[in-house]
Amino acid sequence: TKRLSKIQFSEGNVAKMSKSVYNLKGIRSGWIKFRINSILVAKVIDVVETSTPGIANLEIGINKDDVYLVSLGKSFNVKTSDYKKGQLVKVEYETFIHTIDERGKSANSLPVESYSVWAPRVLSESIPQGAKVSRTKEVIVSAIQDHVYQQKVIQNEGKLFYIK
């Protein structure tokens, strides 16, 4: 299972005993899972309340070129009271998606780039003093090293190309 989780383009691997049961309470017996993931430090852009009282999703972002914050999307559920806008959080994610959109690009312009993460889980509301928000270039390098980088190019003809 561990070996299969590390092959190229794998998102991880789960092995289950033949009589194991998927329990809706999240209690599993007879399962072993190896996920491929990486970690970054994000800034909380917004705390988005869910329909469940006291539970929120965090809109998180990282720095682009040390100039501005770009959103990576929303986290899985967290306790609302533990988080505030502007706070730094450690986030584990399974895929870093870098989209390069060339539609509408003229000869002298750059394509529009955007970023998102798949399955972002906030690991900690407390970040060591002096920690900084991750930068896109650093995250791309670590995502490539951790085998969780995906680049999507959208060309003018509307064609999509996925590069990993």
Whole-model pTM?
0.78
Average pLDDT, rounded, for the chain: 84
- Mean pLDDT across the stretch 56-67? 90
Residues 6+ apart with CB under 8 A from 79: 54, 55, 56
Lowest mean pLDDT among 19-23, 35-39, 102-106, 160-164: 160-164
CB 98 within 8 A of CB 113: yes
pLDDT at site 159? 67
pLDDT at site 20? 80
Please measure the distance between the N-terminal and C-terminal CA atoms of the chain and give it in whole angstroms: 22
Q: Are strands 55-64 and 68-74 parallel, antiparallel or unpaired?
A: antiparallel
pLDDT at site 32? 75
Q: Which of 70, 79, 72 is nearest to 49 (CA)?
A: 79
CA atoms within 13 A on the CB side of 104: 4
CA angle 62, 147, 100 (to 5 degrees): 55
Report the distance separating Cα 130 and Cα 91, nearest Å. Answer: 17
pLDDT at site 110? 79
pLDDT at site 26? 67
